[in-house]
A and B are shown apart, each in its own frame.
Chain A
Amino acid sequence: MLERDLIHTYLKSLAKYLSRLSKPEADEVIREIESHIYDAVELAQEQNGSADIEEILARLGSPRELAAQYTDHILEGRPLPQGFRSMQRIKRGASKGLMVSMAIMGFGFSLVLALIGAAKFIFPDQVGAWSAAQGNSVIIGFTDSVSPSSTEVLGWWFIPVAWLIAAASFYITRKVLAVMKVSMISAQ
Chain B
Amino acid sequence: MVNNEENTEKWDVQLRKGSLELVVLAALKDRNVYGLELLKSLHQFESMQLTEGTLYPLLDRLKRDELVAANWVQEGESRPRKYYQLTQKGLDKLTGFTQRWRQSVSDIEFIINNPGPAALTKQGEETC
Contact = CB atoms under 8 A, between A and B. Distances in A.
B8 to A, nearest CB: 20
A35 B53 contact: no
Interface string A11-32: 0000000000000000001011
Contacts of A32: 35, 56, 82
B51 interface: yes
Nearest to B80: A35
A4 interface: no
Nearest to A67: B57
Interface residues of B, number: 17
A70 interface: yes
Contacts of A60: 51-53, 56
Interface string B18-57: 0000000000000000111000000000000001111011
Contact of B35 (A36, A43, A70): A36
Contacts of A125: none
Interface string A50-73: 000000000111000110011001
A76 interface: no
B102 interface: no
Nearest to B36: A39
A53 B82 CA distance: 21
Interface of B: 34-36, 51-54, 56-57, 60-61, 64, 72, 79-82
